[in-house]
Chain A
Amino acid sequence: MYAQAFFVTVFGLAAIGFGVVVFRTSSMVRSALALLFSQTAVGCMFLAMQTEFLGVLQIMMMATEMSIMAIFMVMFMMDPGGLGGMDMSHQKRFSIGAGGSAAVVAIAVALLSNWGPAAEQVVDAEAQTRALGMELLGRSMMIFETAGITILTAMIAATAVAIPVQNLASKDDKEASE
């Protein structure tokens, strides 16, 4: 129990630490990877809390997602490789206010909610995975499908916006060069 609390604390602090690094570096790639390791630490917190499936899933998804985010940022900022030094913090006063109040709300929710009695026993990872699968393909199916379609739409829209408008002349040039 104490070991569990210890590791949850350590990974929690690591998550916050990497979160701070996101805004302290001067490069987008470093910032994106710091965010990745922050999210990985959250995944490790899941593991420490014995929710194995969610932890592994979080650790897996974040690696690819954050790397793809890095290349998208590099592409949109016109900074190949992201080597140009840049300030990662924008709208400082507003974001400090927003971040501070969000932190207060999150802490208030954590402290004031009635979480019920702490679980003494946790079912093993296999049973958890099975229960999660039943949940995803039963009651929560509509919610997850809707979320999936929404994310897909957003991705297609973002890609469509990112592709520059081609005029016919340049298309001919391209075909000729190929």
Chain B
Amino acid sequence: MTVAIVLLALFGSAWLLAVIEGWMVTGRLSPAAPLFSGLAHLGRESILPRSPDRVFFEAAPVLLLVVAVLGMAVLPLAPDLIIADLGTGALFINAALAYVLVAVIMAGWGPDGAYAMIGGWRFLGQLIAYSMLIVMPITAVAMRAESLLNTAIVGSQAVLWNIVYQPLGFVLFFIAAMALAFRAPFDLPTAEGELGGGVDAEYTGVRLAVLRLARLTLVVTLASATTVFYLGGWHGPLLPPWAWSLIKTLAVAVSMLLVGRYLPRIREADLMRWCWILGIPLALLNIIIVGLLILVVP
């Protein structure tokens, strides 16, 4: 039952996000558009490139979707509404999301096309930039909760949300999460107008539909992680816990889309430089500050 509810919430949010994205781009609010678009993809021919690495080509979109769903499995929507409250939950999200890279590399390498391949390798460079900025802020969050249980992490924010307690960590995590979801301005692996779609380029029909769904789901999962780690999860007045989780998750997801819409695409070299010269020292500083706060403030 819990599994069904969480999955419904996940894909429902992904659908809402697609509607909002369409609204932002076209200016028309059409709730059925993602549905029709998905159906259209199912109806189209699913072209197979000339000499693909068949296993990788087929597995990549599915793996991306599985990864996003697995990440969501350890994130609580409400105190009891969680598929698996793992004792290593905060670490498990990292483990699941590490396979986004594997999926993108597979998608890049599988179709045997130049643009896709460059996109795939680009994402590896992107990972080297953002991965520390995902892990280190989560470390600071777990330090405060003194647990890797995601429910315990939400519980530790009952009085004061982590966005206030460790704002630096929030900013770094938010940026890194956007880079992980490869949304604009971090959409180097797909880079429309520059790489001709990158890893998306060779996918059509059903496979493209799965890939698009997976990318939207990934955004929702990461927004939900941001909510759990920094925005107090289900905590909030009046409304039931699950409603607060959904509202916050959607707000984070929409803000990710909005930020992406008004910023120019970043260069790979700049991303790497800023993340390593500025981001990682700041993430370490965040850990030190949180450590001191834990020691000083009881």
Q: Which residues of A contact B (CB under 8 A)?
A: 27, 29-30, 33, 36, 52-53, 56-57, 59-60, 63-64, 67-68, 70-71, 80-83, 124-126, 128-129
List 12 additional A-B contacts (Cβ < 8 Å) besides A125-B86, A126-B87, A128-B87.
A27-B53, A29-B105, A30-B53, A33-B105, A52-B87, A64-B127, A68-B124, A68-B128, A81-B109, A81-B117, A124-B87, A129-B148
**Which chain B residues lie closer than 8 Å to A30 at the CB level?**
53, 56
- Whether A36 contacts B102 by the Cβ 8 Å rule is yes
The 12 sampled A-B contact pairs (Cβ below 8 Å) are A30-B53, A30-B56, A36-B102, A53-B88, A60-B94, A63-B101, A67-B105, A68-B124, A80-B117, A81-B109, A82-B109, A126-B147
Q: A56 to B109, Cβ gap below 8 A?
A: no
Bits for B248-285, please: 1 = Cβ < 8 Å to A, else 0. 00000000000000000000000000000000000000
Q: Are B87 and A64 in contact (CB under 8 A)?
A: no
Inter-subunit contact A56/B105 (CB<8 Å): no
B91 touches A56 (CB 8 A): yes
Query: Taking the nearest CB of chain B, how far is it from the CB of A22, in angstroms?
Result: 14
Please measure, in the bound complex, the distance between the C-alpha atom of A60 and the C-alpha atom of B67, giving whole angstroms: 12
A57 to B87, CA, bound (A): 13
Complex interface: chain B residues within 8 A of A57 (CB)? 91, 95
What 1/0 mask marks residues of chain B from 95 to 110 whose CB sits below 8 Å from any chain A CB? 1001101100110010
Question: Hey, which chain B residues are within 8 Å of A81, CB to CB?
Answer: 109, 117, 121
Known contacts A71-B124, A81-B117: A52-B88 contact under CB 8 Å: yes
Beta-carbon contact of A129 and B101 below 8 Å? no
Q: Is B11 an interface residue (CB 8 A)?
A: no
In the docked arrangement, what's the CA distance between A145 and B101, Å?
Answer: 28
B131 at the A/B interface (Cβ < 8 Å)?
Answer: yes
What B residues does A70 contact at CB under 8 A? Answer: 105
Residues of A within 8 A of B91 (CB): 53, 56-57, 60
A128 to B87, CA, bound (A): 9
Give bound CA distance, A124 to B128, whole Å.
Answer: 33
Return the 9 tightest CB-CB contacts between A and B, nearest first: A125-B87, A60-B95, A63-B98, A126-B87, A81-B117, A59-B95, A56-B88, A56-B95, A60-B98
Q: Is there contact, CB below 8 Å, between B88 and A129?
A: yes
B65 CB within 8 Å of chain A: no
Number of interface residues of B (CB under 8 A): 26
Q: How far is the CA of A142 from the CA of B105 in the complex (A)?
A: 36
Q: Is B92 interfacial (CB-CB < 8 Å)?
A: yes
Q: Main SS of chain B's interface residues?
A: helix
Shortest A128–chain B CB gap in Å is 7
Interface of A is mostly: helix
Chain B residue at minimum C-beta to C-beta distance from A43: B95
Q: How far is the CB of A130 from chain B (nearest CB, A)?
A: 9
Which residue of chain B is the closest to A63 with respect to CB atoms? B98
Q: Among the listed B87, B92, B124, which residue makes an inter-chain contact with A67, where contact means beta carbons less than 8 Å apart?
A: B124
B112 adjacent to chain A (CB < 8 Å): yes
In the complex, residue of chain B having the shortest beta-carbon distance to the beta carbon of A25: B53
Q: How far is the CA of A30 from the CA of B105 in the complex (A)?
A: 11
Q: How far is the CA of A124 from the CA of B89 in the complex (A)?
A: 13
Q: How far is the CB of B70 from chain A (nearest CB, A)?
A: 10
Q: B223 interface residue, CB < 8 Å from A?
A: no
Contacting residues, chain B, for A83 (C-beta < 8 A) = 112
Contacts of B147 in A (CB 8 A): 126
Asked whether B101 lies within 8 Å of A67 as measured between CB atoms, the reply is yes
Q: In this complex, what residue of A is CB-closest to B55?
A: A30
- C-alpha gap A59/B91 in the complex (Å): 10
User: Which residues of chain A are near B88, meaning CB under 8 Å?
Assistant: 52-53, 56, 125, 129
Residue from the list A27, A71, A128 in contact with B121, Cβ < 8 A: A71
**Contact partners of B121 in chain A: CB under 8 A:** 71, 81
Chain A residue with minimal CB distance to B104? A67
Q: Is B201 an interface residue (CB 8 A)?
A: no
B149 within 8 A of A: yes
Contact partners of B148 in chain A: CB under 8 A: 126, 129
